[in-house]
Amino acid sequence: MAIENISLSGRKTAVSNKEMTFWERLYFIAIIKGMMITIKHFFSRKVTVQYPEQKREYSPVYRGQHVLMRDEEGRERCTACGLCALACPAEAITMKAAERTKEEMNLYREEKYAAIYEINMLRCIFCGLCEEACPKDAIYLTKSQKHVKPDVTRQSFIYGKDKLVISVEDGKSGKYAGLKPIQNKELN
Amino acid sequence: MKVLPYMEISFILEKLILIIIVFAVTMFFALYSTLAERKVAGFIQDRYGPNRAGIFGILQPLADGAKLFSKEEFMPDTPNKVLFTIGPAMAMIVSLLGSAVIPWANKFVIAGVEYIPQVADINIALLYVVAVMSTAIYGIVIGAWASNNKYSLMGGIRAGAQMVSYEVAMGLSLIALVMMTGTFSLREITEQQAGFGWNAFYQPLTLFIFLICSFAECNRTPFDLAECESELVNGHHTEFSSMKMGFYMFSEYVSMFFSSALISILFFGGYNYPGMEWVADNWGGNIANTLAVLTLLGKISFFIFFYMWVRWTIPRFRYDQLMRLGWKMLFPLALFNILLVGVLILIFK
């Protein structure tokens, strides 16, 4: 088979330079046809999303701003193992571990926790490898459904725990889907 | 000092008020045409168009106007500063001139005095219209020349050649119409079409030629080669900014309004509507006349919409195609049309 005849898409058509007929040369019929098409679109349904009033749903795999999860009792899940920082191809994550004291039992899930946890949102490429790497289900960027807001200084893009960790109430109510709170009546 | 007699003062006053009203209506239509244009464009492209300024974007023209006024007035380095200022003014004045001869309705009778809702009922109105329309080119050419810019000049040359070419076919098509109506007065032409005797039914070919030519005369797509964005930046108003640019843009909409009015009057019965006499007999002449004004405005609105509909459907002609269409197709067709109308008049009259 000659290469000219191969059509992988199956839509190949030969170019023809045939003379136009008299009616085609008048363009008149083509123009009327075109105007019928545009008037049909004039009355058709509009596809515009009226943004501030009307928001489109994010796709379930949308990767937005990271969140650090709390468990159903409101304790931080992160143990500062550093696997996310290791997995990060953009070197965006830094953390400093600390040991939990007796009084902090209700704050942190395990003995070791992240005293400082920072993500540089300018370095982050939102690939989601930290989420995949996390063995404790602590960091997610598919669940926040939030954008990183624009700003004017570079410093402000380094998000610390104040911005990343979800609130205790959100942790208990399981607002960020996928981590359903286990209804434990004994706790309340 | 010569004292003007009472009748003359009242006549001047009446006409002055009428002029102001016609001017206001024309400007209002031009103003809202800019919004309508963007709305129609949006709707045809499955969008909504501007809808943030007021309900349905109703305040958009005011916002646009405020923006144009507050823009920096930029004057290019040109030796023709006076011409540069005259250009947009001329374009605006000339496109406003035409609306003087539009007959809006029959005579209004208020307190026993007759008022004719037409600024000037001259018996050569059609000639006046053709004359005014052909001077519209001066604003464009003067502005383009004074811009001292090659793109502008090119746009001006194109506009000039195009208008001259289409003027011929337009004049010839009007001759065919005048042969049938036997008058140049727009009021008489309108009155001949009372009821549903629209000229469009008698002379479809004339309408066809006139319609195409009026598109070219208004510099509207598919004949907007003068301001062809893809090759000439913006053609004749490339160098204009602020309200000067606004005037050029506005004059286009005003002349669109005027040529829509002309099409409605010449071919679609002007202010006539079916049942006009019945309304005049039963409800009074003034109500019938008010409805007549609204009818004419409705017809004008439809043709303005038609202009926009065509604009957002058809791409622009290439320059040689434009010239071929004007000289090799419309010109012979218009001549043939005259012959045809002449033969038909001989047979049927």
**Would the CB atoms of A47 and B310 count as touching at under 8 Å?**
no
Domain extent, residue A157, equals: 67-178
**Would the CB atoms of A46 and B309 count as touching at under 8 Å?**
no
**pLDDT given for residue A179 in this prediction:** 44
Distance CA B166, CA B177 (A): 17
CA distances from A14 to A4, A20, A130 (A): 10, 17, 51
* pLDDT > 70: percent of chain A: 93
Chain B residues whose CB is inside 8 A of the A41 CB are 43-46
Q: Residue B60 domain-assigned? A: no
Q: Residue A44 domain-assigned? A: no
Are the CB atoms for A45 and B328 separated by under 8 Å? no
Distance from CA of A28 to the nearest CA of B (A): 11
Average pLDDT over residues B231-245: 81
Average pLDDT over residues B160-186: 87
Using the Cβ of B282 and the Cβ atoms of chain A, whether some distance falls under 8 Å is answered with: no
- Predicted TM-score (pTM) of the model is 0.78
**Residue A186 scores a pLDDT above 60:** no
Q: Residue B230 domain-assigned? A: yes
- Residue A175 CB partners (closer than 8 Å, separation 6+): A166, A169
**Would the CB atoms of B309 and A35 count as touching at under 8 Å?**
yes
Using the Cβ of B107 and the Cβ atoms of chain A, whether some distance falls under 8 Å is answered with: no
Are the CB atoms for B206 and B173 separated by under 8 Å? yes
Looking up residue A105, the CATH number of its domain turns out to be 3.30.70.3270
Average pLDDT over residues B169-195: 86
Average pLDDT over residues B73-77: 81
Kindly state the tokens that stand for B33.
């045409």
In degrees and rounded to multiples of 5, residue A143 shows phi and psi of -105, -20
In degrees and rounded to multiples of 5, residue B100 shows phi and psi of -65, -30
Q: Kindly report, residue by residue over B20-74, the tens digit of the pLDDT.
A: 988 898 888 888 898 999 999 989 998 888 888 888 888 888 888 888 888 888 8
Distance CA B286, CA B109 (A): 7
Q: Residue B154 domain-assigned? A: yes
CA distances from A156 to A119, A122, A167, B126 (A): 11, 10, 21, 71
Q: Residue A59 domain-assigned? A: no
Q: Residue B324 domain-assigned? A: yes
Distance from CA of A58 to the nearest CA of B (A): 22
Using the Cβ of B164 and the Cβ atoms of chain A, whether some distance falls under 8 Å is answered with: no
Q: Which of B89, B92, B90, B172 is nearest to B130 (CA)?
A: B172
Q: Which residue has the higher pLDDT, B212 or B112?
A: B212
A131 annotated ligand binder: no
Average pLDDT over residues B304-323: 88
First and final C-alpha spacing in chain A? 77
**Would the CB atoms of A41 and B43 count as touching at under 8 Å?**
yes
A157, with CB counted inside 10 A (0-12, 13-18, 19+), is middle
Q: Residue A3 domain-assigned? A: no
**pLDDT given for residue A181 in this prediction:** 40
Using the Cβ of B312 and the Cβ atoms of chain A, whether some distance falls under 8 Å is answered with: yes
Distance from CA of B198 to the nearest CA of A (A): 22
Q: How many domains does chain A have?
A: 1
CA distances from B184 to A96, B77, B174, B195 (A): 93, 46, 10, 20
Residue carrying the six token digits 């309340």: A188
Local structure of residue A167 (DSSP, 8 states): P
Strand partners, A94: A118
Distance CA A16, CA B283 (A): 65
**pLDDT given for residue A177 in this prediction:** 57
Domain extent, residue B216, equals: 70-348
Q: How many domains does chain B have?
A: 1
Are the CB atoms for A129 and A88 separated by under 8 Å? yes
Average pLDDT in chain A: 83
Q: Residue A83 domain-assigned? A: yes
A134 annotated ligand binder: yes
A102 annotated ligand binder: no
Chain B residues whose CB is inside 8 A of the A44 CB are 46
Residue carrying the six token digits 């902090």: A104
**Residue A55 scores a pLDDT above 70:** yes
Q: Which of B46, B48, B310 sits opposite A41 (nearest CB)?
A: B46
* pLDDT > 90: percent of chain B: 6
**Count of CA atoms in the C-beta half-sphere (13 A) of B85:** 4
Q: Residue B340 domain-assigned? A: yes
Distance from CA of A34 to the nearest CA of B (A): 6
Distance CA B154, CA B1 (A): 53
Q: How confident is the model at residue A89 (pLDDT cuts 50, 70, 90)?
A: very high
The β-bridge relationship of strands B113-115 and B108-110 is antiparallel
Chain A residues whose CB is inside 8 A of the B46 CB are 41, 44-48
**Residue B89 scores a pLDDT above 50:** yes
**Would the CB atoms of B43 and A39 count as touching at under 8 Å?**
no
Q: Residue B173 domain-assigned? A: yes
A151, with CB counted inside 10 A (0-12, 13-18, 19+), is exposed
Q: Residue A55 domain-assigned? A: no
**Would the CB atoms of A48 and B48 count as touching at under 8 Å?**
yes
Q: Residue A23 domain-assigned? A: no
Distance from CA of A44 to the nearest CA of B (A): 7
Q: Which residue has the higher pLDDT, B60 or B117?
A: B60
**pLDDT given for residue A180 in this prediction:** 40
**pLDDT given for residue A176 in this prediction:** 73
Using the Cβ of B310 and the Cβ atoms of chain A, whether some distance falls under 8 Å is answered with: yes
Cα angle value A163/A166/A170 (rounded, 5°) = 150
In degrees and rounded to multiples of 5, residue B106 shows phi and psi of -70, -170
- The three-state secondary structure class of B348 is helix
CA nearest to B222 within chain A: A31
Chain B residues whose CB is inside 8 A of the A48 CB are 46-48
Q: What is the largest CA-CA distance in chain B?
A: 66
- Window from B9-23, B111-125, B142-156, B179-193 with minimum mean pLDDT: B111-125
Distance from CA of B262 to the nearest CA of A (A): 23
Q: Kindly report, residue by residue over A142-174, the tens digit of the pLDDT.
A: 887 888 889 999 999 999 988 888 888 877 777
Helix (H) or strand (E) holding A98: strand A93-99
Q: How confident is the model at residue A125 (pLDDT cuts 50, 70, 90)?
A: very high
A81 annotated ligand binder: yes
